[in-house]
Chain A
Amino acid sequence: MDLFSAPGAASGAAPPAPPATQPEPPLRQALREAPHTLHPTLWLGHQLGRQADATCASGYPALDAELPGSGWPRRALSELLLRQPGIGEIRLLSPCLTAIQRSGRLVMLFDLPAALSARALAQLGFDVEALLVINTKALPCGDSLWALEQALKSGHVGAVLAWLPPRLRAERLRRLQLAAQAHDGPAFVLREMAAAEQPTAAPLRLALRPAGADALGVRLLKRRGPPLESPLRLALPPVLSRAEREYAHTALEPKPAALHGATFINLAGLL
């Protein structure tokens, strides 16, 4: 029996549909209404998927509302696409990562794109001394992925944040996703924006772009659930005071004529 065909929608060649008066079998009813009661990994296309494991709250209620399981998934990769480092990605992840550090678990960073500032991390609430940074940039690509895979497989690391080399082959990412199943915590991989055109093994894929001072535009390109049409705009932990932010915002206000068009093209090119 085809479990996924809608009840009563069988075509003429198929066995005749049960008469409407007959009560619907409970399995079918459950499948139609609430498949997640049968198995946590089943969901209907228009519903938001559930996570078998508890998720880690992102610290942004607007984002949590759109993520399956209301938070960053554990035991799976979360792919973040961004044009360049320094648009607010660390501030986006900091509530989740610092909570993991506070729960006594290790956060590991792989292949930083630039030098880190310890003071800035401390200001975001990180325990700087308890971060482990692996730098494999000078080594062959195999080594860097090996290190990441080991960290994921070990299952003892609280969270992993990795900047992947550009133009990573899809099967390598799939391998990381397999390794991540042993990893009890969120695993973030950050990649270049151009990767959006290729399919991904990660069950969650977000595109990030700046959306004004101290704000980040987040588009959910892939999730277990229906696609999200409009990007989210998240206010990040602030760098600027309120007055400065307002000033920055007015400075960004599109001026009439030429600048308007330029801004439009710019944003369209980014996503």
Chain B
Amino acid sequence: MLWIAVHLPLLSLESFAATLPAEMAAQPLALEDEHRIVGANAPARQLGIKPGLKRATALALAPQLTLARADPRRDACALDAVAHTALAFTPNVAIQPANDAVGAEATAPDTVLLDVQGSLRYFGGLEQLLQRLQRALAPLGHRLHIANAPTALGAALLARVHRRFDGIDLPATQRALDAAPAWLLGPGHAHWEALQGMGLRVLAELRALPRSGIARRFGAELLDELDRAYGAKPDPRVALVLPPAFESRLELFARADSADQVLHGAGILLDRLIAWLAAQHAFVRRFTLVMQHEPRWRRGDDGVLTPPETTLELALAEPSRERAHLLVLLRERLARFALPAPTLELRLHAADIAQRAPPNVELFPTPRSEREGLLRLIERLQARLGHEKVHSLAAIDDHRPELATLMRPADAHAVCRGRGSFPSATAQMPSMPAVRYEDAEPAPGMRVRPVWLMTNQGEPLQERDAWPLLDGRPLQLVSGPERIESGWWDMRLVERDYFIAQQPDGALLWIYRIRRLASKPSPGWFLQGRFG
């Protein structure tokens, strides 16, 4: 067996700093529990804040200190993301449980264990695997202690004392454990103080004592723990199972007033989402960001009660797990959107995923990369402008010109289908036959239609002696009439005689006259379109 333990010594602080805006996270921060400091970041330590101080003392030392309560739930959420990242390397991932909580020493789990024996060959050896693991964990922004050892508990314990420990075999691990301080087994246990009082500094000294005595004094539990760490007893672990749907929350310490602040928090949630996706080689198709707002009981200016939360749903044309892309989409959506109230909490939810092989990395542009780039572009435009602003066209078989064209929100896939079908996007254009239009005629039987249409029925034209005028100048009818009589079945009957007319400068127009009826002597002229 080969276990890697990833220990996060500053997990609580880092998960707290994540809830702060970036500029605040660099200020002195500390966590308290039961009025005592349990953690402080580097700027706070410089001011003399250290764990164990009373809350009042700490505030007296550093009035500008940002102080918050330690929150095991928040830490667990952050640790889940680390465990999910680890799942991309091996299916056997376990979270090392924290020692049983006794009294004030409640600690959240902060170590993830990976059994990588089965993955070594695939990743090309332990060193390679560790490098990739560290690279994968880097976006989460935690400080890491990494130990590898043949026993799970041994690795977990040694990761607490060493930044990097490489236990190549059991004897080496046992030697390292012998030299490890005895308090490793202590915190959280009832026998912590007794161990202290007996003057036992390192584990070797504890092991040197008679086993029966240890069992009598401290209970069989301690012996059991020792044996598992030293590999004298099997240490089965229950592998972590990935939840079927992703759900993560981030309670913002400082309320977010602007979209940028929301985006900062959402970026952290996205990192967690990406870890969850990477663990199952999946890509997200749709996710939801819920912003929980500060409760407001007054009505806003428009008399509408502020909603308790806002939901942003993002659907992707092409499943993705690229952080930058997802963040850009989110940014465009947030930019369009006015936050009704400051945001206190963010929740990210995703269940709709697509499992597929990751795309190959390509050096040169290919049809595939071009198609993906287009999809991204369309997605981005849809996210910023709205789906209803990005259209595609379709022709409908109808003689009435105002009904013959359908503008509908574009389906990115349909538009991109068949794009980039040529070997290279920059390939030469197909050669164009040089057509001379001087003597050309429209194809026989083809009624050429104008590209630009006036809306609906067209614009009424001025008349002089029943002759159409545009801008006060008479139009010259050069072609027509062509009768369009259609639509008796859907109550939008048209009976029109169409002409192609010429403006004095030669621009061509498509105009019509409503069919003359005895009941309406002068039905009038309308401009239907322009030949663009």
- Which residue from B373, B381, B446, B454 sits with its C-beta under 8 Å from A115? B454
A114 and B507 in contact, given A105-B419, A105-B425 (Cβ under 8 angstroms): no
Q: Mark A232-246, 1 if CB is under 8 A from B, else 0.
A: 001111111110110
Q: Mark A161-199, 1 if CB is under 8 A from B, else 0.
A: 000000000000000000000001000000000000000
Q: Which of B507-532 contact A (CB under 8 A)?
A: 507-509, 529-532
Q: Mark B483-523, 1 if CB is under 8 A from A, else 0.
A: 00000000000000000101111111100000000000000
Q: How far is the CB of B328 from chain A (nearest CB, A)?
A: 10
- When distances are taken between beta carbons in the complex, the residues of chain B under 8 Å from A154 are 373-374, 376-377
- When distances are taken between beta carbons in the complex, the residues of chain B under 8 Å from A242 are 439, 441
Q: Is the CB of B455 within 8 A of A104?
A: no
Q: How far is the CB of A28 from chain B (nearest CB, A)?
A: 35
- Which residue from B380, B415, B422, B503 sits with its C-beta under 8 Å from A104? B422
Q: CB-nearest residue of chain B relative to A259?
A: B504
Whether, in the assembled complex, A35 has its beta carbon less than 8 Å from a beta carbon of chain B, the answer is no
CA distance A115 to B402 in the complex (A): 9
- When distances are taken between beta carbons in the complex, the residues of chain A under 8 Å from B396 are 118
Q: Mark A197-230, 1 if CB is under 8 A from B, else 0.
A: 0000000000001111111000000000000000
Secondary structure type dominating chain A contacts: mixed
- Which residue from A102, A117, A146, A267 sits with its C-beta under 8 Å from B430? A102
Whether, in the assembled complex, B314 has its beta carbon less than 8 Å from a beta carbon of chain A, the answer is no
A interface residues, how many (CB within 8 angstroms): 79
- When distances are taken between beta carbons in the complex, the residues of chain B under 8 Å from A56 are 429
B interface residues, how many (CB within 8 angstroms): 74
CA distance A54 to B430 in the complex (A): 13
- Which residue from B395, B421, B432, B436 sits with its C-beta under 8 Å from A57? B432
- When distances are taken between beta carbons in the complex, the residues of chain B under 8 Å from A59 are 432, 434-435
- Which residue from B410, B420, B437, B455 sits with its C-beta under 8 Å from A132? B410
- When distances are taken between beta carbons in the complex, the residues of chain B under 8 Å from A116 are 393, 405, 407, 451-453
Q: B-side interface residues toward A, CB under 8 Å?
A: 367, 370, 373-374, 376-378, 380-381, 384-385, 389-396, 401, 404-407, 410, 414-416, 418-422, 425-430, 432, 434-442, 446, 448-455, 476, 478-479, 500, 502-509, 529-532
Q: A-side interface residues toward B, CB under 8 Å?
A: 54, 56-57, 59, 61, 84-91, 95, 99-100, 102-106, 113-124, 128-136, 139, 143, 146-147, 150-151, 154-157, 184, 209-215, 234-242, 244-245, 247-248, 251-252, 263, 266-267, 270
21 A–B pairs (Cβ distance < 8 Å), ordered by A: A86-B530, A87-B530, A91-B532, A99-B429, A102-B430, A105-B420, A118-B396, A121-B393, A128-B393, A130-B392, A132-B392, A133-B393, A134-B391, A157-B377, A209-B505, A210-B503, A235-B440, A236-B437, A239-B508, A240-B478, A244-B479
